[in-house]
Structures are given as structure tokens and as C-alpha cells.
Amino acid sequence: MGTITKALELLDFFSKSRAEIGLGDFVKLTGRDKATVHRHLVELMQNGWLEQDPTTRAYRLGPAILRLSAVREATYPTRALIRPVVHRLSEDVGELVHASLLQGDQLSPIYFADPRRHGVQVHFNLSELLPLHATSSGLAVLAFSSDDLRTRILNGAMTAYTDQTVTDPDTLRALIDETRRTGLASSANAFDPEVASQGTAIFGSGDRPVGALSVSVPSVRATPDHLATIRGPLIQAARDITRSLGGTYPPEHPLSRP
Amino acid sequence: MGTITKALELLDFFSKSRAEIGLGDFVKLTGRDKATVHRHLVELMQNGWLEQDPTTRAYRLGPAILRLSAVREATYPTRALIRPVVHRLSEDVGELVHASLLQGDQLSPIYFADPRRHGVQVHFNLSELLPLHATSSGLAVLAFSSDDLRTRILNGAMTAYTDQTVTDPDTLRALIDETRRTGLASSANAFDPEVASQGTAIFGSGDRPVGALSVSVPSVRATPDHLATIRGPLIQAARDITRSLGGTYPPEHPLSRP
DNA sequence: TACCGCCGGTTCAAATAATAAACCGATCAA
DNA sequence: TTGATCGGTTTATTATTTGAACCGGCGGTA
């Protein structure tokens, strides 16, 4: 692992529930040496990616991020394009919808919409990275990702988030093959307990998925009928996003022959 | 310069007018070896900070940035706090107002408002970094920054953006001393020609400025009277921002004794 | 006051990772 | 065919990163 990756990984520890992180915390989180972590932190700080609270000496995300995200959205407004589609789908199916983009070996959620129509709701945290192996979005991506990414995930360590998380490579491979046939991934209670979700990949201008769109349903409402009614709108919404990104489905994808 | 800094500097080349950059462009922009640049790009891409267009092979900013900026704004909403103040001030004085945050040795603009009330307007690009030595915001920051930063800037290479940019360290030092006495920095035609601006520092919880607020006026309207009417509202707005950031002026600042 | 553990931060020899010249293959134009 | 340009790769050399030990400040406590 290169130095750059080590430094960037430090940033991934920040989330809504973890807005400030001290040197000692980073050392525990990473298992790396204090001096190493400190050097990385200082260098990130010098470039504006972190700033340090002058009294607590804890680190938080810096202003550099704000500028770059403005540049990205101004020039390549994925978030703005995806937003209305996610909203509409969420109203349509009356359930939590979220879109995420592939970021290395994880998914980075970029937008979600929750119609709050029912008593029971699926909770969703926009600022935590999602694993590929334990989410329907992840399976949808893996089904059409490069062999390289797929084998890296399947051969790597896979966290069991619940007692129903599939961590057996062969079982996962079967699920992924199924997803490749249908274009739609399903998972139940694999990441959050009591939540069933269905996901499908979205594509950019290449043959590889850039992310996924998924609908999550509380288990109490996850009847086969209800899940079936979701599929059509979900697939249509993903198609809309793919089109507005200027993307095309790869030949092996079932939706490439509509 | 460390490897991390070298990699992060690559990201700073992106702006609204430069959304996609190829390997060769980066080589020219940085003057570094192709292999070096390529390794950095790959590592940034693996972590989601860049993505590569599959057909043109050019690089663009990736989704990692979107997630982190959401985290920062959710937990430390500088931008959201500053926005209304900038707007109000801009309406008040009828001129372009912008706020920027200190990011390393430069200023990162995070918000601007333009009342578009006059025929002649100051143009402003939100996505380019600003130099400390050639802007009123920069002088306002330098007046209260650490000795370390100040000497680094004054002893470093300073670009002359116009023929009126002050690049002589002693003259600059005098301007900075003046700013420290009054709490307000002025500059004319130093960065953009035909633009005069006044700026003042904003503070966080430490004794050092976190950024600056400034008003820019086209030279044709930059009469002493007009500039004088701007000062009061500008200083009040900066005070509002500093307060809402939980900040305090350092003892040597004239506004610490209101 | 003295002692203790814990915090953020620093030092410098040793180990490791970054670098850059040369190279590869593809594409395009003359 | 040639050659110019593009993105990308290889590998010996070189410079940077690493981490054990250390420093000094802080808060609690005996």
C-alpha cells in the first residue's frame, strides 16, 4: 500500500457521527505508528484537507474538499442528475431509495430519499461507506464489474454485519451470477438487520458500472408481492440515470436488449 | 515536498474551466516525470478521488469528494453559516462579496454573491485558488497569521498578476502592518486589473484567522467615498461570521476592543 | 510535592517505497 | 513506412518513509 493511499484512508474515517478525530484515535483506528500517522495528518493539513481544532488538537475535514466538490458538481453534476430520479422513484414505490457511486472497493452513497409514508422506516446514513459484498447495490455492481475487482472482493476479508451476511465466496459468486442474468440484485438482512433491498447497476460511458440504485424495505413489509411491484420502477429509474449520464449497458447486461 | 502533497496538488489543477485532465497535461502542468504522475493518479483513482473516462482516458474528480464534503457541511457547516451573511452584505453594499478559507498557503473561495446592480461587474470564479500576497483577503489573513506562514509567503516566489501587483517583501510587510492596525486590508488591481477590493479576516476558535471576507469594486466606481461606505458593513459582517463560527478576535486585533 | 498515565508531538538510524530513464504498443498523419 | 504523440510499464538507483525511543505538558491522586 502506497503512502498516498495510507493518507487518504485517514479521511475515510470521518463521518457524521465522527466529525473530529485525534491523533491517538487515528493510531488506534489504523494500527499504524504514531509518527507515521502524524506526518500524514500534517501533510493533509498543509494542503487544506484537514484542519486542527486549536484547543482540542483534534482534526476535522478542511476547506479543500468544499472547493473540489463544487468543481465536480459544476462540471459533472452526477448528484444533481441523480437527485430527481431518486426522489421520483421513492415517491413511486413509497420506500427508501438510495444511489451510490463505486469508490475503490466500496460504495459511496451520494443521495437518498425517504418518503416517510409508513410507520416503520429504514434508517440510512449518508456519510458511511457501504461494502460491496453485503448490499444489493454492491452485488449489482460486482455482477458487471471487472474480474479484478470481483476477485479482490471475494478473496478478501468480508465482514459479517449480521448473522445473515453471506461471506462464503462460492455462495456470493452464485448470487452474483444470478444478478448478471436478471440485472437485479436482492439481499435481505445482510448489512442492516430487518431490511430487505433490491438494487441494480448504473453505467457511465464505459462498459463498467459507475454505481448502483437500490430500494430498501423493512422486513415486515418485504412480501414477495411488494418486492415485485418495486422491480419495474427501479429498473426504469436506473435506465433513466444511465441514459442521463451518457451511459450504455454492456452487451452481457439483460437490459441492453430491452 | 512529500509524496502525499505531490498527489494532492494534482487535484488542485481541476477547476470549472478544467474539468478533465490527461496524463500528458499533468506532466506539463507539474513538470514531474510521467511515471511518477501516473502512479499518483492511479493511487488517487483507487481511492475514489479521481475517475478516468474510459474512452478519452482523461481524469476527472471522483465521488469520494462528494461524500466528504457532505460530511463536513453536516458536521461543521461553514458554508451554510457564511452564505446568508455574504448575501446580505452584498445586497447592502451593492457590490461583489466573497468569502474564502485559508487552505495551506492559498485561499479557497467558498461562497460569493453578486448583486448585479450595476452595468460594470466584477467577474469571479469560485473554483480557482487565490494567492495570499495579491488579494485584500490574503493581506487580511497574513496580518494575523502565524509568523511562519507570513515569512513563508514573503520569502517565497510571488507572482505578479498585473503590473500593479506588489511583490516586494518590504512593501508588503508595510501593507500588512497597516492592516494589523486597522483590521482592514485594501488592494487595487493587484490580482484582477480594474478591480479594487477591501477585506477583513474571520476567526475560528483559535487566535489565527480561518479565512477572510472581502468586497470587490470595479475601479470606475472605486471612489474614496464609496469605499468608505463599504467598510462599516464589511466589518460587521465579518464579526457576525466570526461569532457564528464560535470564534474570537485575538487581543492584537483592533476589533477585539469594540 | 511527587508520581503516574496519557496526550500530542519529535528525532534519527534503518528499511522501504518513490523516482525517472528507457521502453512498449496503439493511434494518427504525412 | 516513418515519425510524432498518446497512455502506460519496467527496473536499477535514490531519496523518502518508517517506527522505537524520547520529550514535555496536562490532569488526577496519593
Tell whether the model's pLDDT for residue A258 goes beyond 60. Answer: no
Interchain CB distance below 8 Å, A5 and B47: yes
Residue A57 (CA) to nucleotide D25 (C1'), in angstroms, measures 13
Q: What is the mean pLDDT of residues A135-164?
A: 93
A202 close contact with B: CB closer than 8 A = no
| B138 interface with A at CB cutoff 8 Å | no
CB-CB neighbors (< 8 A) of A204 in chain B? 54
The arithmetic mean of pLDDT across residues A118-143, rounded, is 85
CA-nearest residue of chain B to A73?
Answer: B66
Residue B119 in this model has a pLDDT that exceeds 70? no
**Structure confidence at residue A17 (pLDDT):** 82
Q: What is the pLDDT of residue A120?
A: 67
- Note the pLDDT tens digit of each residue in B14-63: 988 888 999 999 999 999 999 999 999 999 999 999 999 888 889 999 99
Q: How far apart are CA B199 and CA B231, in angstroms?
A: 9
User: Tens of pLDDT along A182-229?
Assistant: 999 999 999 999 999 999 999 987 788 999 999 999 999 999 999 999
Range from A101-115, A121-135, B179-193 carrying the lowest mean pLDDT: A121-135
Overall pTM > 0.90: no
Whether the CB-CB separation of B244 and B202 falls below 8 Å is answered with no
Give the C-alpha separation, A135 to A150, whole Å: 14
What is the grid cell recorded at A125?
446514513
Q: What is the average pLDDT across B124-136?
A: 87
Mean pLDDT score of chain B: 91
pLDDT value of position B131: 96
Chain A residue numbers touching B124 (CB-CB < 8 A): none
**pLDDT on residue A16:** 83
Of residues B4, B43, B49, nearest to A40 (C-beta): B4
Return the pLDDT at B98.
Answer: 94
Tell which phi-psi region holds residue B205, choosing left (phi > 0), alpha (psi between -120 and 50) or beta.
Answer: alpha
Q: Say if residue B120's pLDDT is above 70.
A: no
* pLDDT at position B222 over 60: yes
Arithmetic mean of pLDDT, A120-142: 86
Q: What is the mean pLDDT of residues B227-253?
A: 92
Closest CB from B4, B11, B103 relative to A43:
B4
Residue B163 in this model has a pLDDT that exceeds 90:
yes
pLDDT of residue B148: 84
* All domains of chain B in start order, with CATH: 3-66 (1.10.10.10), 76-256 (3.30.450.40)
Q: Which residue's CA shows the smallest distance to C1' of C20?
A: B33
Please state which of the ranges B117-121, B178-182, B186-190, B206-210 shows the lowest mean pLDDT. B117-121
A2/B43 touch (CB, cutoff 8 Å), yes or no: yes
A30-82 pLDDT, tens digit per residue, is: 999 999 999 999 999 999 999 998 888 899 999 999 989 988 988 889 999 99
pLDDT > 90? residue B127: no
The pLDDT assigned to B227 comes to 96
The C-alpha of B133 sits at a distance from chain A's nearest C-alpha, in angstroms, of 18
* CB neighbour list of residue A22: distance below 8 Å, 6 or more residues apart: A56, A57, A58, A59
State residue B210's pLDDT score: 92
pLDDT of B258 over the 60 cut? no
Strands A96-103 and B59-61 turn out to be: unpaired
Please calculate the CA angle A237-A209-A108 and round it to the nearest 5 degrees. 85
CB B1 under 7 Å to nucleic chain C:
no
Lowest mean pLDDT among A49-58, A232-241, B84-93, B173-182: A49-58
Q: What is the mean pLDDT of chain A?
A: 91
Residue A32 CB in 7 A reach of strand C = no
High-pLDDT (> 90) share of chain A, %: 70
Neighbour-count burial of B47, counting CB atoms closer than 10 A to its CB (0-12 exposed, 13-18 middle, 19+ buried) = buried
A145-164 mean pLDDT:
91
User: For chain B, give me the number of helices (H) and strands (E)?
Assistant: 9, 8
B23-CA/C28-C1' distance, Å: 18
Of all nucleotides, the one whose C1′ comes closest to residue B34's CA is C20
pLDDT score, position A256: 78
pLDDT classification of A252: cutoffs 50, 70, 90 = confident
